[in-house]
Structure 1
Amino acid sequence: MDLRDYFRVLRAQWKLVAVFSLIAVALAAAVTLRETPQYASSARMFVSTQGSTDDAQAANQGGQFSLQRVKSYADLLTGREIARRVVDRLQLDETPGELASQISASTKLDTVILTVRVNDPDPKRARLLAAAVSDEFVAYVAELETPPGKDQATIKATVVDPASESTAPISPQPVRNIGLGLILGLILGAGVAVLRETLDTTIKSTRQLESLVPAPIIGAISYDAAAVDTPLISSLDTYAPRAEAFRVLRTNLQFIDPDADHKVFVITSSLPGEGKTTTAVNLALALAEGGEKVALVEGDLRRPKISEYLRLEPAVGLTTVLIGKLPLEDAIQTTAREGLDVLTSGSTPPNPAELLKSTSMASLITSLRARYDVVLIDAPPLLPVTDGALLAAQADGALLVVRHGKTTTDQLALAVDRLESVGASPAGVIFNMTPARGGDGYGYGYGYGYAPEESNPRDTSPVA
């Protein structure tokens, strides 16, 4: 995946990213509301050496000695000894360990300034504890730095900024917490979206098709929710985007083996539910509309649907001709679309594969080839049964219908192998139910439409 692919994934999965972001923000807000406000009070102390400062060298050595001591003092401030002294002094109920967890100390680089901070839910108690800690530490330093037998400590700590009472809590910080939650949610959502895309093996781009099928992509039919109720383009407006998409498919189909006068194509798919039958019927309608003499054969003897779509008689058809009960001329039915004749499936046989690979079927295809400009055979899907491959072996090629977001790469690869195993080959690929807008920008049905503008009776301006 390149950068463009990542942007495409995020754009397609924006709802998932938004859900993760909202959940993370909600959790951050809940944690913030449940968190007890904490107040901080701090005091600053100055660490210096005792004795005369007349001697510059001695003063410099004393300053260096104080700097070394300050680092150790910062650690002592957060220890249990200071906490124990404060607990005893204020007669607190908490243990020294609990109090020590509330104390923090810091120093500024190359200075002898020591800052102690105490956090507590009560601002007044925080100030009281910070004052007690600083006072006890001053006394503790005096004890530690007084040599045996001496009355004066070599180093002393002096409180220069007494503890003050805080008016605003230092935590929680709603803006920071919610901001971090939003960032974390966006990262998690984007990560899950990319992971889903990586694990998703369904075909969603023409680049995937080009790498899997050794045949051109001759058309892309965009998804139309209204197709469930009006599957045929003959029921649509002349300039409907779906009708235009099939006209584009018709044009591209004519460039497959342009020197051939009569062409026979099998329309099939990898699995059921990819739209092969509606594609076959609509392509036949588009070809007939373009002036071609078209025969549409219902070669799916297991789940026939063409007779239902075109409101034709299903009892007499392909099986009737193959078993010799009726000649081809009498079994073919005409339609309301001039130039389109249909051979429905007929009665469902117990042995569809045997009928389709018989010499009678080969003779029927030869007869249809001689009479029509284009013969389209709606065949069963390739993976569940062998019927589609048997029909493709007798035709000029197979048109593979691939459904966007449903057909997987493995299924399509197996379908191509099934065709090649019988000596057939895919002549073209039809990408079905693609997004109306978006995709990789190549070969997609964008679904815009380009109908004539309505005339305005008030517009009397001359045409330039």
Structure 2
Amino acid sequence: MELADYLRILRRRWRLIVTTVLLVVVAAALITWRTTPQYQSSTQLFISTSASSSAEAYQGNLFSSQRLASYADLATGTELATRVVSTTGSELSPGDLAAKVTAQASPDTVLLTISVTDPDPEVAQQLTQAYGDELVALVAELETPPGQNKPVLKGTIVDAASLPGGPVSPNVLRNLALATILGLLLGVGLAVVRELLDTSTKSADDVTSTLEAPILGTFAFDPEVGKRPLLTDLSSHEPRAEAYRVLRTNLSFVDIDAESKAIVITSSLPGEGKSTTSVNIALALHAAGERTLLIDGDLRRPQAAALLNLDPSIGLTTALVGKVTVSDVILTHASGLHVLASGTVPPNPAELLQSQAMAGILAELRAAYDVIVIDAPPLLPVTDAALIASQVDGAVLVVRHGRTTREQLAGARERLAAVGANTLGAVFNMVPRKGRGNYGSGYGYGYGYGYAPDEVPVAEPESQKA
């Protein structure tokens, strides 16, 4: 992955990253708040030898610095802790008290610093002072040669134990800063993992590379689709109307020399907006003066006629079984668009769609219309759409942003290729308006170019999923 890919992930998954940071910071704050404050008191000892000359003083300093590490170890041991417990009357065991003590020898010096940590600042000071006193006594005891009463080394307290002015732990600022850094790292990591695991189509590149066909139109998510699904319900300057005009223009360049075009509108799975797209592109073509016929070719769950408020009971299936001629069952919408409804739902739609009767009807209709738009079932659940597409100029796939996966799209393309049908292109549907420039190039001017003000969608209307 390149830097641009990571930046794209950050823009796309920033909510996940911010949420992760907040959760980690809140967890750190709770842990910090529940942690008992610890106070630390320190004392400093000077370990020296008695010398009568500068040469003896130099040798004594070397000797003292060599012994300093040993006394630092003794200061944290149980022997000195036992003496301190006895002196102070502390209720702690020598082992517990030793765990509270740190001793550090300053490099290239004869200074030894002893620190004791305790929840009570006064107790910490008392124990630290006792440690200093007892270590002075222990040094004198250990450094006095047998038979003599003067130690070779002596310890002197140069800094008495201080009363802590504030707790040394927990360090609120440090904990929150570390939590923020950890949250950022964790959030970015989760965002990258989720991006790698997420195979849904979120960019034009995802669609074109998987489908191996261009994007013919892009439609932003519009909460008004449920209330005004048809192109005839919109004023001409609205962005959705402009998007259909763009799609109509792009379709005109498909098989440009053909006198009559027949195009299947389908999708990978239900709920991606194929029926709404089929109806509206037919209305857009009719408005441009094309002799247009909309066929509701979904013989399982027909919806096109219902969107246009037409009776779907008599239509394609009625003509296929030979009860009437196809011209007798063509309906006319209020806009003037000719519509061939699905008719009664049959028990064997796939057999009807690949029959000679279907081929004859398509040939008859091609001679009568400039453009035929067929609303077909989804490709993956059933074979109907592939069967119809193999008999016409090709199929246009409606791809729903953030829902259709690349695997589903590839499966749909393979279904079409298996029957020798052409994949003419895709319609990228329900693209979020906000930040749509982040989803890759290839949208064209698409949806969103107009004079109507943009609105942030708050809910997804069910009718847009048709």
Band the TM-score falls in, shorter-chain normalisation: over 0.9
1:440 alignment partner in structure 2 = 439
Within the candidate set 80, 100, 103, 1:102 is matched to: 100
- AA of the residue aligned to 2:242: E
| 1:443–1:242 distance in 2 versus 1, CA, 3 Å | farther
Residues 39 and 171 in structure 1, CA contact (< 8 A), matched pair in contact too: yes
2:384 alignment partner in structure 1 = 387
Once residues 14 and 110 of structure 2 are traced to their aligned partners in structure 1, the CA distance between those partners, rounded to angstroms, is 54
1:182 is paired with a residue whose SS is helix
Within the candidate set 412, 415, 428, 1:415 is matched to: 412
Instruction: List aligned pairs for 1:24-423, cutoff 5 A.
Output: 24-55=24-55, 58-338=56-336, 340-423=337-420
- AA of the residue aligned to 1:242: R
1:462 alignment partner in structure 2 = none
Once residues 448 and 264 of structure 2 are traced to their aligned partners in structure 1, the CA distance between those partners, rounded to angstroms, is 30
**Structure 1 segments of 4 or more deviating over 3 A?**
443-449
C-alpha deviation, 1:344, in angstroms: 0.6
Residues 437 and 446 in structure 1, CA contact (< 8 A), matched pair in contact too: no
C-alpha deviation, 1:397, in angstroms: 0.9
Unaligned runs of 5+ in 1: 454-464
| 1:319–1:446 distance in 2 versus 1, CA, 3 Å | closer
1:459 alignment partner in structure 2 = none
Residues paired across the two proteins, number: 450
- AA of the residue aligned to 2:197: L
1:225 is paired with a residue whose SS is coil
Once residues 239 and 9 of structure 1 are traced to their aligned partners in structure 2, the CA distance between those partners, rounded to angstroms, is 34
C-alpha deviation, 1:238, in angstroms: 1.6
2:255 is paired with a residue whose SS is coil
**RMSD after superposition:** 1.9
C-alpha deviation, 1:452, in angstroms: 8.5
Unaligned runs of 5+ in 2: 454-466
2:459 alignment partner in structure 1 = none
C-alpha deviation, 1:426, in angstroms: 0.6
- AA of the residue aligned to 1:130: T
1:394 is paired with a residue whose SS is coil
- AA of the residue aligned to 1:30: L
Q: Is 1:20 paired with 2:17?
A: no
Once residues 448 and 301 of structure 1 are traced to their aligned partners in structure 2, the CA distance between those partners, rounded to angstroms, is 34
2:363 is paired with a residue whose SS is helix
C-alpha deviation, 1:361, in angstroms: 0.8
Residues 51 and 154 in structure 1, CA contact (< 8 A), matched pair in contact too: no
| 1:292–1:204 distance in 2 versus 1, CA, 3 Å | same
- AA of the residue aligned to 1:442: S
- AA of the residue aligned to 1:361: M
- AA of the residue aligned to 1:10: L
C-alpha deviation, 1:250, in angstroms: 1.0
Residues 243 and 448 in structure 2, CA contact (< 8 A), matched pair in contact too: no
Q: Deviations over 1:322-358 (max 9, x none)?
A: 11111122111122224x2111101111111111001
Once residues 278 and 54 of structure 1 are traced to their aligned partners in structure 2, the CA distance between those partners, rounded to angstroms, is 101
Q: Deviations over 1:206-243 (max 9, x none)?
A: 11222211211111111112212222222122222122
Residues 296 and 376 in structure 2, CA contact (< 8 A), matched pair in contact too: yes
Residues 239 and 449 in structure 1, CA contact (< 8 A), matched pair in contact too: no
Once residues 335 and 109 of structure 2 are traced to their aligned partners in structure 1, the CA distance between those partners, rounded to angstroms, is 96
2:313 is paired with a residue whose SS is coil
C-alpha deviation, 1:447, in angstroms: 4.9
Q: Deviations over 1:335-388 (max 9, x none)?
A: 2224x2111101111111111001111111112212211111111111111111
2:194 is paired with a residue whose SS is helix
Once residues 230 and 5 of structure 1 are traced to their aligned partners in structure 2, the CA distance between those partners, rounded to angstroms, is 38
Q: Is 1:425 paired with 2:422?
A: yes
C-alpha deviation, 1:301, in angstroms: 0.4
Once residues 202 and 54 of structure 1 are traced to their aligned partners in structure 2, the CA distance between those partners, rounded to angstroms, is 82
Instruction: List aligned pairs for 1:442-461, cutoff 5 A.
Output: 442-444=441-443, 447-451=447-451
**Paired-residue identity, %:** 53
C-alpha deviation, 1:201, in angstroms: 1.5
Q: Deviations over 1:270-327 (max 9, x none)?
A: 1111111111111111112222221111110000001110011211111111111111
Once residues 452 and 10 of structure 1 are traced to their aligned partners in structure 2, the CA distance between those partners, rounded to angstroms, is 30
2:30 is paired with a residue whose SS is helix
Once residues 9 and 191 of structure 2 are traced to their aligned partners in structure 1, the CA distance between those partners, rounded to angstroms, is 7
| 1:53–1:289 distance in 2 versus 1, CA, 3 Å | farther
C-alpha deviation, 1:48, in angstroms: 1.8
2:461 alignment partner in structure 1 = none
Residues 276 and 401 in structure 1, CA contact (< 8 A), matched pair in contact too: yes
1:226 is paired with a residue whose SS is coil
Residues 242 and 446 in structure 2, CA contact (< 8 A), matched pair in contact too: no
- TM-score by structure 1 length? 0.92
C-alpha deviation, 1:446, in angstroms: 7.0
